[in-house]
Structure 1
Amino acid sequence: MIARAKEQGVEMSPGMRRYDGQHMMDHDGGMHMGMDMDMMSVMCNQGDAGAAASSPPAAAGLETARNRGIAYVTGGVGEDEAAAIRAVASRYSMRARFTTSTGEFTSDVSVRLFTSDGKLIFAAITDGPYLYAQIPPGRYRLSATLDGVERSQGIAIPTHGGIGVSLTWPAARAGAAG
């Protein structure tokens, strides 16, 4: 997330700390906990082409992507990007936020959505603490993995409006800071 912030010219807050060689930042920055390689393989092998076609318009600085025909945005690094992504929330039927138990934002969360019969319909890796997606109405199982720890829950996307989902992982061990 630090490299992405630098690319965007975003100044990361001074509360950054290191845990077990991974970056962890305070509430303004987010947290980098590594990439799920299985998820990366899924995305590389089954990503959608034509991401801009029929996607909801994104706010300035946000890029609308697609996976398996589902439009989504992800991010929230820095105050400007967080405000931009929250500004488009009403355009998406599922609005997910990822944090630790101490409130630090996370990124690089491997997110998968399955139908009630177990079919994978969406997969993405977050670029920040927010992932908003245009999920069709119905009942699903949302699975999100961060640093090898999975969180899973059933969700129901309504015909009109949308839902907010918040998933939380344990904070890094207190003695791991270096």
Structure 2
Amino acid sequence: MKKFHNSRPIPSAAWAAIFAAALALGYTGGAAAQQANASGVVGGSTTDDTSAGNTNGGGMPQVQQQGDVSFVSGGVGLDESKALLGAQHDWPLSLRFTQRSGEYVADVRVQITDSHGASVLDTTSRGPYMLVKVRPGRYNVHVSHAGVDKTSAVTVGSNGSARASFIW
């Protein structure tokens, strides 16, 4: 890759915003525009589990289901970050993934087990925030990123306000 004099790399968050804007405008490698599908969605389908083309609106990523547990993850772009932070109070468990420098981390393997060791959720977070709807109880949250594993015990009360942050 050619490096230009006095140039600085563009942060990954900026690239994500540029890419999202290009998708929102319907740019696909020179295509003039995309037509809406039968449900009126442009740039994705309502079955997408990414923020582009989801049915939640307002930048909120698509809610996913695993067994009786609902969850949502993301926050790479500013709209998703704001939407997820704003929705935290509606979800019993909130997880955050960052580096020591404060930079956000994505692609974190998340495994949640109940107090008996039974698996409740086994997935990969698509961004620095994950919101999870679990029943009140005690859980162990096991996460892995870049070969480093971490575990945190959390208790979700009946008011559903448990939070855990993981820093690499």
Whole-Å Cα distance in 2 between the matches of residues 74 and 59 of structure 1?
15
TM (normalized to structure 2)? Answer: 0.66
The DSSP-based 3-state class of the residue aligned with 1:112 is strand
Who is 1:8 aligned against? 20
Cα displacement (A) at 1:58: 4.5
Who is 1:121 aligned against? 120
* Structure 1 unpaired stretches of 5+: 11-50, 52-56, 170-178
Cα displacement (A) at 1:59: 5.0
The equivalences for 1:42-53 within 5 A come to: none
Aligned partners of 1:112 and 1:123 also within 8 Å: yes
Cα displacement (A) at 1:161: 3.0
RMSD of aligned C-alpha atoms?
2.4
Kindly indicate whether residue 67 of structure 2 is the aligned counterpart of residue 68 of structure 1. yes
- Return the structure number with greater relative CO, CA threshold 8 A, min gap 6: 1
Cα displacement (A) at 1:7: 5.0
Q: Which has the larger radius of gyration?
A: 2
Whole-Å Cα distance in 2 between the matches of residues 66 and 7 of structure 1?
27
Whole-Å Cα distance in 2 between the matches of residues 59 and 126 of structure 1?
20
Whole-Å Cα distance in 1 between the matches of residues 108 and 140 of structure 2?
16
The residue identity in structure 1 corresponding to 2:155 is A
Cα-to-partner distance string for 1:40-76 (whole Å, 9 max, x where unaligned):
xxxxxxxxxxx9xxxxx95523211111221111111
Structure 1 residues 146 and 118: alpha-carbon distance in aligned structure 2, compared to 1, 3 A threshold: same
Whole-Å Cα distance in 1 between the matches of residues 21 and 151 of structure 2?
34
Whole-Å Cα distance in 2 between the matches of residues 103 and 85 of structure 1?
18
Aligned partners of 2:92 and 2:134 also within 8 Å: yes
Whole-Å Cα distance in 1 between the matches of residues 163 and 58 of structure 2?
22
Aligned pair count reads 125
Who is 2:44 aligned against? none
Who is 1:162 aligned against? 161
Aligned partners of 2:76 and 2:127 also within 8 Å: yes
Cα-to-partner distance string for 1:87-132 (whole Å, 9 max, x where unaligned):
1111100011001111111000000101122111111211110000
Cα displacement (A) at 1:5: 5.2
Percent identity reads 26
* Structure 2 unpaired stretches of 5+: 1-11, 23-48, 50-54
